[in-house]
Amino acid sequence: MNTNELNDPKDQNLENIEGTIVSSNAGNHDVADSVNDLVDVNADKPMSITDEAYDEEPNDEELKPLEMDDEHVDFDEEDEEEAEIDEEDDEPHVDYSNLSKDELVQTLKDLINNRPVQKIRQKVESLKSIFYRKHKAEVEKLRKEFVDAGGDLEQFSLPEDNAEVQFKELLKQYRAKRAQYNNQLEEQKQHNLEQKQQIIEKIKDLVNSTEPVGKIYQEFRDLQKQFLEVGPVPQASLNDLWNNYHHHVQAFYDFVKISKELRDLDFKKNLEAKIKLCEQAEELLLEPSVVVAFKKLQKLHEQWREVGPVPRENQNEIWERFKEATTKINKKHQEHFESIKEQQKKNLEAKAELCEKAEELAAQNPKSVKEWNKLSKELIELQKLWKTIGFATKKENNKVFERFRSACDTFFNKKRDFFKDIRDVQVNNLQLKTELCLQAEALKESTDWKKTTEDLINLQKRWKQIGPVPRKNSDEIWKRFRAACDYFFEQKSKHFASVDNSYEENLKAKEALIAEVEAFEFGEDMEQNLNALKEFQRRWTEIGFVPIKVKDDVQKRFRSAIKKHFDKLNAQEGKNKVVRFQAKLEEAKANPRAMSKLRQDRERMFNRMRQLENDLTVWENNIGFFAKTKNAEAMIEEVKRKIERAKEEIAELSEKIKLIDKLEQ
């Protein structure tokens, strides 16, 4: 491989530069050594026509960028065999990212069948990267749809992808063609080597020719031209070949004793050519890309090697000039890749820190949706930050990415399991709310305004008590329930809008009833007093609506007047707890909130009554036990008192429960 065939490294993702202009063993170093390490072998003596120094060719190792991409780190494809560097493609760059997978397959097929294999590598790599990026996206989509549909992730299997099968087969054909091309290239290099060796033998035989000097010299020139026109040779034979060539060229000059004028003219042309090469090398010091400068420098060294000798007095000067520019370029090249290595080291440290944070998040076990969402946002921020960090060292980049991805996978797998349980609950909630919708829709045409209003309010309360439903059903089920409720209340509003003219009469009736309640005087019979208060409440309830602006004030006045009488009744009853409780119930009839609290009190009373009944059983059993012990009389009396009190409390609680049940009926 010729060094002028080297491709430009992409971006700044170079981990190791294995191809240098130093020697075939340069691949053992991280960065290319200075050309000085080579050329100094002749720096201790003046250069002659035969011993002028030439730089070694670079080895065959291709300057490669790091191919590691976080988004494709798990892409498992066969590594391509090490190939010769491709020739430059004279066609413009093509963007394949908008093609479908089938179109990518056809494009790859067309390239392999219609284009030289040595000119399509970049396009093939681009097609391969885009194809598998799309393929991976499809796989992830299928996996997500499978899991969302309730499937077990471990049971997920990929369907056969015909496009991928064709694509892999085409890549196999491409590799076979590349291998064939490389074999042919190596055979051609070996053939070129044999040709150049034959030309050297012909130059060597010129010293034995008896032809005139002019004819011999012309033949010598033709042989030199043929030598330079023959193509590249195997790298391992390059230095020996050139050394042998220059040795016999010098031997020819010595043999024919060409005239000094002709020789000086030839030397002068060579000097001019080398001065131009020096100028080109010095211009490379201004090249912004050290990698581009390094590549171009290698080509200049090849050209330097091909130029013949210069006048002896200029040999050291011109070589030192060329060597100085080479040294500076190599130094910049080395510093450039050392800085890349240092940055990659810092990137590795930064990524390791993100791994630790991601692992901390993955180790947590939130118990609520809010906590999961909070931690998810934190992890997503870590992922965004990860993408802003460049590559780590080639050796560690895959490992640190796998570590980070493993932490992310652990976190989101745990989150998925959590939300799977949540979804089961939400599906059940959806069923419950659907049943409420059916009940509301069955009530919406009712004209029993009071009862239906209470029923719908109760349904709304139950709706609030039921938890969330799946997000995709949330709006739909809520709109359905609300539509049924809204329809009823709109019909109710229309109905009562027609009776607004009766509100004033109702107001007068309620104000008259309030005055009657305030003027009421208790009699001797407490039962009659209680019945009178109950009658007031019944009459109040039967009176219709009043204007909304005075509703609260009128209601407050009535409750205040009734409460005063019930307080008086309670004071008279004193110790009669049941009657006082009954009065409390009568007062609560006009207050929906109080009724709700009474239901809770009933539950509490019922539980208390059951507890007392259990205690009675225990105490009665204990009396028989105490009778068999000494000094048990005091204990027995105390237990008997407890039993009596418990029976009284049970009777009281039972009566209160009956009163509550009667009131609700």
Nearest to 69 by CA among 9, 16, 133, 122: 133
Rounded to 5°, the CA angle 577-578-582 comes to 115
Alpha-carbon gap, residue 491 to 498, rounded angstroms: 11
Confidence of residue 355 (pLDDT cuts 50, 70, 90): very high
Confidence of residue 420 (pLDDT cuts 50, 70, 90): confident
Q: Residue 665: what pLDDT?
A: 67
Is the pLDDT confidence value at 203 over 70?
A: yes
pLDDT, tens only, 372-406? 888 899 889 888 888 888 888 878 888 889 888 99
Confidence of residue 539 (pLDDT cuts 50, 70, 90): confident
Binned at pLDDT 50, 70 and 90, residue 499 comes out as low
Close Cβ partners of 452 (under 8 Å, ≥ 6 residues apart):
443, 446, 488
- Furthest C-alpha separation in the chain: 165
Residues contacting 344, CB < 8 A, separation 6+: 15, 390, 391, 392, 393
- Other Cβ atoms within 10 Å of 603 Cβ, number: 11
The H or E element spanning position 496 is helix 471-497
Helices 503-519 and 548-573, axial angle in degrees (round to 10): 20
Instruction: Give CA–CA dist 588/663, Å, rounded.
Output: 10
362-395: burial string, b at 16+ Cβ within 10 Å, e else = beeebeeeeebeebeeebeebeeebeebebbbee
Q: Render pLDDT for 563-577 as a digit per residue (tens, 0 to 9).
A: 888 777 765 654 456
For the chain, report the end-to-end CA distance as a whole number of angstroms: 102
Rounded Cα distance, 258 and 260, in Å: 6
Give the pLDDT mean for 200-212. 83
Confidence (pLDDT) at 235:
85
Amino acid at 379: L
Which tokens sit at 564?
A: 């005063």
Q: Quick one: pLDDT band at residue 627, thresholds 50, 70, 90? A: low
Neighbours of 20 (CB within 10 A): 28
Sign of the CA dihedral running 392, 396, 397, 399: negative
What's the rounded mean pLDDT across residues 309-322? 89
Tens digit of each residue's pLDDT (9 = 90 or more) over 432-447: 889 889 998 888 888 8
CA 107 to chain CA mean position, Å: 31
Least confident of 259-263, 293-297, 461-465, 507-511: 259-263
Report residue 550's pLDDT band, with 50, 70 and 90 as the boundaries.
Answer: confident
Q: Using 50, 70 and 90 to split pLDDT, how confident is the model at 223?
A: very high
pLDDT at 151 (0 to 100):
80
Please name which of 32, 39, 94, 88 lies closest in space to residue 63, comparing C-alpha atoms. 32
Q: What residue has token string 């066609």?
A: 91
Lowest mean pLDDT among 266-270, 464-468, 583-587: 583-587
Q: What is the pLDDT of residue 55?
A: 32
Q: How far is CA 213 from the centre of its chain?
A: 79
For residue 256, pLDDT beyond 90: no
Mean pLDDT, the chain, as a whole number? Answer: 77
Q: Are 622 and 585 in contact (CB under 8 A)?
A: no
Phi-psi category of 76—alpha, beta or left, where left has phi over 0 and alpha has psi -120 to 50? beta
pLDDT one-digit tens code per residue, 76-134 = 333 333 434 456 566 677 888 888 989 999 999 998 999 898 888 888 999 999 999 98
Residues of the chain above pLDDT 90, percent: 14
pLDDT of residue 605: 86
Under 8 Å between Cβ of 251 and 281: no
Minimum mean pLDDT range among 419-433, 487-501, 573-587? 573-587
What is the DSSP code (8-state) at residue 438? H
Report the pLDDT averaged over residues 25-35. Answer: 31
Q: Is 400 exposed, middle or buried (0-12, 13-18, 19+ CB in 10 A)?
A: buried
Residues 6+ apart with CB under 8 A from 122: 86, 89
Length of the chain: 665
The pTM of this model reads 0.35
7 has pLDDT over 90: no
